[in-house]
Amino acid sequence: MDAQKIEMYVLMNNKYFPQDKMGFIKEKLAQLDDDRFMIISSLEMKDPTTLLIISVLLGYLGIDRFMLEDTGMGILKLLTGGLCGILTIIDWFQIQDMTKEYNFKKVMAIL
């Protein structure tokens, strides 16, 4: 794989992944063929900032957890109003990291 393509991908998608895992992603991308790289390049990533806004506005309904495919917690938040707001407030501080981990796992499933 061309190093320039890898650097361009990393620069364009840096905000979607945890910073501590970027080196691992670069290593895996270097081992890919062009067809797999095109598949990964076309993946739609969840934006951590967008999910934070959704969590602040609709977090008590569990919408943020449903978007991360965490349906169990989404249903719990929906039925309990975010555990009377406690889980909603906790999610405000953790949702961006959870989104980056979700994106990382999504890419790792293809690699």
| CA–CA distances in Å: residue 99 to residues 4, 35, 76 | 27, 26, 19
Q: Give the residue extent of every domain in the chain.
A: 3-110
* Reported pTM: 0.89
Tokens of 71: 């349906």
Give the whole-angstrom CA distance, residue 37 versus residue 1: 9
pLDDT 10s digit of each residue in the chain, 111 long? Answer: 688 988 999 999 999 999 999 999 999 988 888 888 888 988 999 999 999 999 999 999 999 999 999 999 999 999 999 889 999 999 999 999 999 999 999 999 988
Residue 21: predicted pLDDT: 92
Region of 46 on the Ramachandran plot (φ > 0 left; ψ -120 to 50 alpha; else beta) = beta
Residue 1: predicted pLDDT: 65
